[in-house]
């Protein structure tokens, strides 16, 4: 099932102030001054622009305080995770293995025509070591031995769809 995120083009406070997500306080302050100048009601006539001015004030209020900023960052991450469209689920045992390169890949076709792909070394990094046929090596090799079932979200190489790769021991 595909869940569409209707708010995906919604601007974050970082967008509103035209600063990067990891911007320093000074960069945020500079971004705020510019944005405030450009959206000031004295310079604008329409209500849309007035809303812009209020957004800028709100963005500055939240991002200028480390506490509200970190709270906002967490909310941002949560809303991003929530809006990832999950196309499908597939078991590792049903996935294709592409052994043509030195670092083999687990592949699954995406409806856009491209593939969801994750390399064996990427899987090993998160604790799943595979043999050359895509079978899981001894569960004891897992970094997290409590893990019995894992669901790994893999993005398509071309489009924004994601797939959940289910790995069970
Ligand atoms: Zn795709």
Predicted local confidence at residue 88, as pLDDT = 84
Distance 142 CA to ligand 1 centre (A): 30
Residue 46 DSSP SS3: coil
Distance 109 CA to ligand 1 centre (A): 8
What's the CATH number of domain 13-82, 3.30.160.70, 1.10.260.40, 3.40.190.10, 1.10.287.110?
A: 1.10.287.110
Average pLDDT by stretches of 10, the chain with 169 residues:
45 93 96 89 66 91 96 84 73 89 90 90 84 70 57 88 84
Could you tell me which of 114, 98, 169 has the C-alpha nearest to residue 106?
Answer: 98
Distance 49 CA to ligand 1 centre (A): 37
Residue 92 carries which DSSP code? G
Distance 100 CA to ligand 1 centre (A): 21
The Cα-based distances of 6 to 13, 79, 147 in angstroms read: 18, 12, 34
H or E stretch including 57? helix 47-63
In this structure, the number of other CB atoms found within 10 A of the CB of residue 161 comes to: 19
Task: Read off the pLDDT of residues 47-70 as tens digits, 9 standing for 90 and up.
Answer: 666 788 899 999 999 999 999 999
H or E stretch including 88? strand 86-91
Topology of the domain covering 86-168: Microbial ribonuclease fold (3.10.660)
Q: Which residue ranges does the chain devote to CATH 3.10.660.10?
A: 86-168
CA distance 167 to 64: 42
Q: Please provide residue 55's backbone torsions phi and psi, each rounded to the nearest 5 degrees.
A: -60, -40
What's the whole-model pTM score?
0.47
């Amino acid at each position: 099932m595909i869940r569409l995120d209707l708010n995906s083009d919604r601007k974050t406070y970082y967008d509103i102030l035209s600063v990067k997500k990891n911007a320093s306080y000074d960069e945020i302050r500079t971004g705020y001054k510019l944005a405030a100048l450009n959206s000031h009601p004295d310079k604008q006539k329409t209500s849309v622009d007035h809303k812009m001015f209020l957004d800028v004030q709100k963005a500055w209020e939240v991002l200028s305080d480390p506490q509200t900023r970190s709270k906002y960052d967490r909310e941002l991450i949560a809303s991003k995770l929530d809006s990832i469209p999950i196309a499908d689920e597939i078991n590792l045992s049903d996935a294709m293995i592409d052994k043509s390169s030195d670092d083999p890949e687990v592949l699954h076709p995406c409806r856009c025509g491209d593939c969801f792909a994750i390399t064996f070394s990427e899987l090993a990094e998160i604790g799943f070591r595979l043999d050359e046929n895509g079978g899981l090596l001894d569960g004891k090799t897992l970094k997290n031995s409590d893990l019995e079932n894992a669901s790994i979200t893999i993005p398509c190489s071309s489009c924004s769809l994601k797939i959940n790769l289910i790995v069970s021991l």
